[in-house]
Amino acid sequence: MARRVAVTGIGVVAPCGVGREAFWNGLLSPAPDGERRVPNWDPAPLFDNPKEARRSDPFSQYALGAAAEALAQAGELSADPARIGTLVGTGIGGIGTNETQIVTRHEKGDRRVSPFLIPMMMPNAAAASISMRHGFQGPCEATVTACAAGTHSIGNAARLVADNRCDVVIAGGAEAPFTPTSLAGFGNMTALSSSGISVPFDSRRDGFMMGEGAGILVLEDWDTAVGRGANILAEILGAASTADAHHITAPSPGGAGAIRCMEIAMSEAGLVPSDIVHVNAHGTSTPKNDEAEAMAISTLFGEPGPAVTSIKGVTGHSLGAAGALEAVATVLAMEHKLIPPTAGTKSLDPEIPKIDLVYGEARPWEPGPSMSNSLGFGGHNGSIIIGPAS
């Protein structure tokens, strides 16, 4: 990358905690029982009045909340608003609003459909809401690449900064997928766990637990951040995106697409496999994903390779927000010099390649170049490499 890209703020809304501290404590806690929903969510503090809140889908509300925290940590930005971008990915956007209004039309007729349906359901609503709330006039976009959307947004945002198109980009992902039809759809395709557990890379895995939330990072030109005295949390070293071109839901055999993605990200960062000391895996707890990802990590890094963890045992799988939450977790792991365990997992499946999976308890480490991976339906692969601030 041409210009160094600093991370100067992180914000999070997640099932295991709202806010950085609560989220981190949640990552160090045992896997919860039941659905992975954001607990006791109250959007009121984010809006001037209840009417405004009702005109915002929860996925946009989560993004606004996470962005507020990230921007508060970043401090006063010195960049021209025209050079501040907003990139927030999602898998299915305002599906809750969409489903509710379809039922309303069916039961009550066309005239009762809300005029706010479209601006609430559109996938770019979260990015647009942040942009308008804070007056950011640079690129404002929504990446919609299923479960890789958050990771792709961060990677694309880093390039905008590195290539001198923007000085600051607010980047991440948001999702609020808990609707009856969404759950039925994922359930009927056997993607969800029938036993109600999330145990990445464990032989007991039988599908993912749905999650929701938002993760937002403030990415900033390194020199600009230093010049204004910002506290730099981490650095984005490289990113990549590839397609499996194989199957609409299943990963390519042996994780071939994921391997290429990780290789490209390392090449952009000027690193080799032995430089990577930690991988925050996609690790959904589905049989095929975990097998393919373990194969990809093993093939690229050897056995046992870098320390690997998946936070989805705690957070569940929040689709387009997953990669952003995992990027936040990676930054926090560097800050605390502790890799969270893969909650719920009791042992590594002996039928998959041997990776150095962190489970049982958190592992102290000396932070170094770390990779966060996302592998989405449609064959979308995303990797970002994050390094400690130095």
> Which tens digit of pLDDT belongs to each residue from 229-267?
999 999 999 999 999 999 988 888 889 999 999 999 999
pLDDT of 123 > 90? The answer is yes
Token digits for 133? Answer: 């709330």
Span 62-90, average pLDDT: 97
| Whole-structure pTM value | 0.97
The rounded distance, in Å, linking the Cα atoms of 64 and 126 is 7
Q: Where is pLDDT greater, at 253 or 186? A: 186
Coil, strand or helix: which one is 288?
helix
pLDDT at 325: 98
Just list the catalytic residues: 147, 282, 317
Portion of the chain with pLDDT greater than 70, in percent = 100
pLDDT of 1 > 60? The answer is no
Span 112-135, average pLDDT: 97
User: Which homologous superfamily is 5-388 in?
Assistant: Thiolase/Chalcone synthase (3.40.47.10)
> What ranges do the domains of the chain cover?
5-388
Taking only Cα atoms into account, the Rg of the chain, rounded to an integer number of angstroms, comes to: 19
The rounded distance, in Å, linking the Cα atoms of 150 and 147 is 7
- Cα distances (angstroms) measured from residue 249 to each of 91, 281, 286: 14, 18, 11
- Beta carbons within 10 angstroms of residue 15's beta carbon: 24
Count the alpha carbons within 13 Å of 11 in the hemisphere toward its beta carbon. Answer: 26
Classify strands 356-357 and 213-221 as parallel, antiparallel or unpaired.
unpaired
**Biggest distance spanned by C-alpha atoms of the chain:** 62
pLDDT at 173: 98
> Which tens digit of pLDDT belongs to each residue from 259-289?
999 999 999 999 999 999 999 999 999 999 9
What is the H or E stretch that residue 181 is in?
A: helix 180-188
pLDDT at 254: 86
Please provide residue 382's backbone torsions phi and psi, each rounded to the nearest 5 degrees.
-140, 140
